[in-house]
Amino acid sequence: MTNKVEIPEIDENAKAVRAEGITFHYPDGTAALKGLSFEISQGEKVAIIGPNGSGKSTLLTLFNGVRQGGGKLEILGLPVAKKNLIRIKTLVGLVFQNPDDQLFCPTIFEDVAFGPLNMGWSSEEVKRSVHSALQDVGLEGFEQRSSFHLSFGERKLASIATVLSMQPRIIAMDEPTSNLDLAHRRKIIRWIQNSPRTILLTTHDLDMALETCSRVIILNKGLLVSDGPATEIFRNRELLETNDLELPLRIQPALLNI
Amino acid sequence: MKHDFLDHHRAGDSPVHKADPRLKVIMMVLYILVVVAIPYSAKHYFMYLTVIPVVLALASGVSFFHFLSKLSKIYPMIFLITFLLPFFPGGNGVGYHWGFLKIYEPGLQKFLMINIKSILAMFMSIVLTTTTDFSMLLKGMEKLKVPRVMIIILSFMYRFIFLLIDETERMLMAFQSRYIRLPVFTRLKMLARQIGVLFIRTYERGERVYQAMDARGFSGEIYTIGELEWKFSDSMVLAVFLIFLCIPFLV
């Protein structure tokens, strides 16, 4: 039952992500990413923002090797290539936008155990990691529930647990707060703030990005427009507005006077 | 909790609910085999065999009406397929006149056999599946070496049928909110389009779900942790069941 494979070593001192001119073309030939270069250190929290269709979500899927494009992409020193894919999938957890795409098993336990079981862990290890993943997102005791009996917010938390159980070093989240009610949005924000992991997220919720991330990357039409500290970029009204973005509400001066 | 109706009686603490899912699957398959094997000449055994699902249904504590209502939803299909059988001459059987209709003996026999057998088989399956948690049922089938592919298909179906129902409902609602009065033909055309859209969405969702599986290292095999416990009482029930089933063949 085990499918353990030889595990390539990672360099503990390497950058979490190192991208050099990465590109991606859709099967119909449209270029989604036109050569992006950046580095992300371990433990950094980075928000990738930009209008719809700017390539944010596509970029996230590249980190995990679900999609592969051109250019050079390294995760903790390992190039994203076929021979490293299994290792890279344990290193990078991908949380998709719609939890219904991520939860496909009859029970939450099986969903959260799906990744670890694919990695060939023993059933004791799997149970332990499922338990701690659910505890991490505050869903203890949900093991035997069916995902379609949960609220959207609970499903979102469960979908985070499905990647946490693989104990990834990097978590890539696609719009973690979209469609959430305020209570669950707050839960997710707290969770991101308290997580010791490297987190990359795409979002349109700029206030959430301001609260959780120290660094911001702006993408527009497949190009990297800007990359810098969140405090700087979120104060640069001109830069944001030329990219069809806005100042986060917290920073808008008019609101401070209310 | 909108789709509770499908799972309504799955949780319970009657002996039928608590029995090992493997036991239930084995009983179901054996029962169906025996029912199918009984020839017309031994038709009096059908009454005898009815006892088993009825006893199980009563022991489960779920209202009998619930089982009948489920049965009433599936049975019409069988009736529709078979109701013309008595009117076709087959073999060299005798025919009866009934008003202006002529009914033929072999066709009538076939009609009765198919209907009785399928009602019994469906009744047994309904009683056992209604009282078993779906994931446990899948686990039981897996332990009984049912091909993986079938289990995976069933498990995905159980998960996504609800999403599909939701999506259809939303789409119909959006349609009805704009719909004032349309000729039937136009309405049918719209319905056909909606079904088309639903197919495309399902396909796209399939792609996304596969990506989510792939991102967690899916390589074509689904691994599960099994924790079923075959109890002594399960063996006892199976023994009694087997003896009961075999009696008609021994006498």
Average pLDDT, integer, range A218-232: 94
Of the pLDDT bands very low, low, confident and very high (cuts 50, 70, 90), residue A2 is very low
pLDDT in tens, A49-104: 999 989 999 999 999 888 888 999 999 999 998 888 888 888 999 999 999 888 98
Spatial separation of the C-alpha atoms in residues A89 and B216, rounded to whole Å = 6
At what angle are helices A152-164 and A182-194 packed, to 10 degrees?
Answer: 20
Average pLDDT, integer, range A116-137: 91
So what's the pLDDT on residue B91? 63
Maximum Cα interatomic distance, chain A, rounded to a whole number of Å: 63
pLDDT in tens, A136-169: 999 999 998 888 889 999 999 999 999 999 999 9
Smallest Cβ distance to B3: which of A107, A148, A163?
A148
Q: Tell me the residues of chain A between 171 and 190 that have a Cβ less than 8 Å away from chain B.
A: none
**How much is the mean pLDDT over chain A?**
90
The answer, yes or no, to whether residue B244 has pLDDT greater than 80, is yes
pTM to 2 decimals?
0.78
So what's the pLDDT on residue B5? 58
Of the pLDDT bands very low, low, confident and very high (cuts 50, 70, 90), residue A177 is very high
Task: Find out whether B91 and B31 touch, Cβ atoms under 8 Å.
Answer: no
E-strand stretches of A42-197: 45-49, 70-75, 78-79, 92-95, 170-174
Q: What tokens were used for B166?
A: 């939701």
Of the pLDDT bands very low, low, confident and very high (cuts 50, 70, 90), residue B12 is confident
Higher-pLDDT residue of A107 and A190 is: A190
Would you call A98 an interface residue with chain B, using a CB distance cutoff of 8 Å? Answer: yes
The answer, yes or no, to whether residue A1 has pLDDT greater than 50, is no
Of the pLDDT bands very low, low, confident and very high (cuts 50, 70, 90), residue B7 is low
Spatial separation of the C-alpha atoms in residues B52 and B121, rounded to whole Å = 11
The answer, yes or no, to whether residue A187 has pLDDT greater than 70, is yes
Would you call B134 an interface residue with chain A, using a CB distance cutoff of 8 Å? Answer: yes
Smallest Cβ distance to B225: which of A3, A101, A113?
A113
So what's the pLDDT on residue A255? 62
The two beta strands, A31-40 and A17-25, are antiparallel
Sign, CA torsion B90/B94/B98/B99: positive
What percent of chain B is predicted at pLDDT more than 90?
15
CA A254, chain centre distance (Å):
33
Spatial separation of the C-alpha atoms in residues A27 and A52, rounded to whole Å = 19
DSSP one-letter code for A66: S
Spatial separation of the C-alpha atoms in residues B46 and B68, rounded to whole Å = 18
ipTM over 0.90: no
Residues in B closer than 8 angstroms to A119, CB to CB, are 217
**How much is the mean pLDDT over chain B?**
84
So what's the pLDDT on residue A6? 57
Give the three-state DSSP class for A64: coil
So what's the pLDDT on residue B4? 56
The answer, yes or no, to whether residue B2 has pLDDT greater than 60, is no
Spatial separation of the C-alpha atoms in residues B94 and B111, rounded to whole Å = 15
CA A87, chain centre distance (Å):
17
So what's the pLDDT on residue B173? 81
C-beta atoms of B216 and A147 within 8 A? no
Task: Find out whether B95 and B80 touch, Cβ atoms under 8 Å.
Answer: no
pLDDT in tens, B100-151: 777 888 888 889 999 999 999 999 999 988 888 888 888 888 888 888 889 8
Spatial separation of the C-alpha atoms in residues B62 and B48, rounded to whole Å = 22
* Residue type, position A176, single letter: P
